Amino acid sequence: MSRATILVVEDDTAIRRGLVDALTFAGYAALEAADGPSAASLAIESPIDLVLLDVMLPGMDGFRVLNEIRKAQPTLPVIMVTARGAEGDRVKALTDGADDYVVKPFSAKELLARVEAVLRRSPERPGDVQTLRAHGMTIHLERREVAFEDGEIHQLSEREAGILRYLASNRDRAVDRDELLHRVWGLNPHGIHTRTVDMHIARLREKLTNGISGSDTQSIIVTVRAKGYMLADQVETASK
């Protein structure tokens, strides 16, 4: 298996070299960038598996770099590096599309754990799955619609399509509510107590089971006790 390539974006030379050394020692290949414009160019044009992106950069800050990356490569994993106590930066990183963030100062062990976790999720990114099929219905995620055998069409909200896309892209495991809040809503779930995810799942099940004779509300989305949600085994997925 080829080594994953990590782009390290950090303007402090000593910190950047330390990160590169830690990643290299852990078995990753590493590229470097010391400013925003160079980082955006490398991330878009080079075969990168993940970007470790500092917020404070010369030429273009990390948030602008993230926006440029998301325009060109919506599924490229990005971990933002933020300053201690900068809660606004952490929230903005997640809402702008970062996959995770790490707060300075951090240990090499924590950084590597976060890199491994994000890469573990990334082979089946949410954007890869386009179509779901089950019980004679076809769900088109890009068009956000459900087509039933009798010709009836139901529209999905952007959030409902996002839930299905994420569950389909991680169908080998149960996904908990906090992860859905993070990955689909773009929120930091720490300290948040809400029934939003459950309510969206309930409404989504109603749309997907309508017209399916004899089906129950878990025929498409299964609740795994004490773990979260996952797609039922009979749901077929396709990239087009």
Give the pLDDT score at 191. 66
Q: How far apart are CA 19 and CA 30, in angstroms?
A: 9
Q: Which CATH class is domain 128-238?
A: mainly alpha
Question: Would the CA dihedral through 112, 117, 120, 124 be positive or negative?
Answer: negative
Peptide bond into 105 cis (omega under 30): yes
Domains of the chain, residue spans: 5-124, 128-238
Q: How far apart are CA 232 and CA 230, in angstroms?
A: 6
Q: Is 5-124 assigned to CATH 3.40.50.2300?
A: yes
DSSP state of 187: -
Give the pLDDT score at 171. 81
Give the pLDDT score at 126. 46
Per 3-state DSSP, what percentage of the chain is helix, strand, and coil (rounded to 5)?
40, 20, 40
Alpha-helical segments (H) within 26-157? 36-45, 62-72, 87-95, 108-121
Successive 10-residue mean pLDDT values, the chain, 240 residues: 80 93 92 94 85 94 91 84 76 85 89 89 60 91 90 90 88 84 70 83 87 60 91 86
Strands 78-82, 131-134: parallel, antiparallel or unpaired by DSSP? unpaired
Q: How far apart are CA 118 and CA 125, in angstroms?
A: 10
